[in-house]
Amino acid sequence: RKLSMGNGAEKGENFEACGGSRIMVFVRLRPMGKKERENGSRCCVKVLNKRDVYLTEFTNDNDYLRLKRLRVRHFTFDSSFPETTTQREVYSTTTGDLLEAVLEGRNGSVFCYGATGAGKTYTMLGTVENPGVMVLAIKDLFAKVRERSLDGNHTVHLSYLEVYNETVRDLLSPGRPLILREDKQGIVAAGLTQYRAYSTDEVMALLQRGNQNRTTEPTRCNETSSRSHAILQVVVEYKTRDASMNVISRVGKLSLIDLAGSERAIATDQRTLRSLEGANINRSLLALSSCINALVEGKKHIPYRNSKLTQLLKDSLGGSCNTVMIANISPSNHSFGETQNTLHWADRAKEIRVKGCEVNEEVVVQVSEGPDQAKLVLELQEEN
Ligand code: ADP
Ligand code: MG
């Protein structure tokens, strides 16, 4: 299944006359956990035909045997992944095509959305045995770069950052909060580490270390906060020469985003601190929702400025970008409310239209520039 690239690349229901394309929305159901099985959870979600999701509402009864079915709701998405789906299947269906676009100098982004425990981090980062989208994308990227090494010169840079409590932090080199600035490429976090990556091997360890740097709950040691958003940015620069031998540079950016838990911040221990954090998390997620609503309604003004998260994601949502949403859900009837919210949200996200996706390309050196060009060609040769 090809992603719609806008600009007439693909016609059909995905494509709007104005040249926009809609975002792709996927749902991933995780398997029932051991604890859930032990505490008598009942499965309330079924995925059929890789598209249809059926959500069953049971009567609110603690006695498993007396549970009755109240109603069943039906949703449909670009693809829906049942609990048996492998990490590679999720990666190749959701992100494989995006990577091609990024190599051509376009932007792309993949979001994981869902309640805490629904499988967002598993989907994005995964484990050493079962690496997730972030790791598989980088692996795939290096393989593709190797295949294309004769056409030009690619460089890959990684940045990994967190938005927690309306503060932006560098996960690759933790320290003081980063300040967001607007430059000609859009909003950037000043001083953010751009790690030059050469191979896949180093990346899993790097990302896992980065993930450990995510803010932890003070009350629950070692547990990653469900209120932190993590964003991995993979920037691929491709330098080559066009027909007239000008040196051109194309820059594509892939953003992979593990959003904070979408549940409402209730049942908190240290009330004051928590309510502040809760409010701020709601602020980032609420801002994301209102941007999505504004995009769905085709509004001129999209309120990106309302939170750090939406500022950072400006070029990944409404800009010239291919966007993918993965909604993560749990099968347990104990998570029914959250699952229902997530499915409603994902259903609404299907309506978002984005502008056609442009190539970020510029001529770095004109042939007529003579000596400079000679220098750059030499540089190119050296790098190769
Ligand atoms: P979240 O990041 O949304 O809070 P996690 O990704 O941490 O949730 O998942 C919660 C638990 O469920 C983890 O122990 C994780 O390993 C497990 N899990 C999630 N998705 C899957 C899956 N598809 N297959 C197997 N285990 C999963
Ligand atoms: Mg997580």
List the pLDDT tens digit at each of the 384 positions of the chain.
333 333 333 333 333 333 456 689 999 999 999 999 998 888 999 999 999 999 999 877 666 666 778 889 999 999 999 999 999 999 999 999 999 989 988 888 999 999 999 999 999 999 989 999 999 999 999 999 999 888 788 999 999 999 988 899 999 998 889 999 988 777 889 999 999 998 888 888 899 889 989 987 665 555 667 888 999 999 999 998 888 889 999 999 999 999 988 875 333 344 555 555 555 556 787 788 788 778 777 788 989 998 999 999 887 776 666 889 999 999 999 999 999 999 998 998 888 766 666 677 777 766 665 555 545 544 554 544
3-state secondary structure of 383: helix
**Ligand 1: residue whose CA is nearest its atom 23:** 30
Is ligand 1 within 6 A of the CB of residue 335? no
Within 13 Å, how many C-alpha atoms sit on residue 69's CB side? 9
pTM of the complete model: 0.85
Is ligand 1 within 6 A of the CB of residue 33? yes
> Directed axis angle between helix 201-212 and helix 133-147, to 10°?
150
Is the Cβ–Cβ distance between 167 and 177 less than 8 Å?
Answer: yes
Task: Please indicate if the annotation marks 339 as binding a ligand.
Answer: no
**Cβ atoms < 10 Å from Cβ of 255:** 23
Task: Please indicate if the annotation marks 219 as binding a ligand.
Answer: no
Is ligand 1 within 6 A of the CB of residue 224? no
End-to-end Cα separation, the chain, in angstroms: 34
**Ligand 1: residue whose CA is nearest its atom 22:** 30
Q: Which ligand is nearest to the CA of 330?
A: 1
3-state secondary structure of 189: strand
Q: In the prediction, which pLDDT does 373 show?
A: 53
Distances (CA, A) of 198 to 92, 205, 380, 381: 22, 14, 17, 17
Q: Which ligand is nearest to the CA of 262?
A: 1
Q: How far is the CA of 178 from the centre of ligand 1 (A)?
A: 29
Q: In the prediction, which pLDDT does 15 show?
A: 33
Q: In the prediction, which pLDDT does 64 show?
A: 63
Q: In the prediction, which pLDDT does 120 show?
A: 97
Which of 328, 276, 286, 333 lies closest to 307, judged by CA?
286
Task: Please indicate if the annotation marks 117 as binding a ligand.
Answer: yes
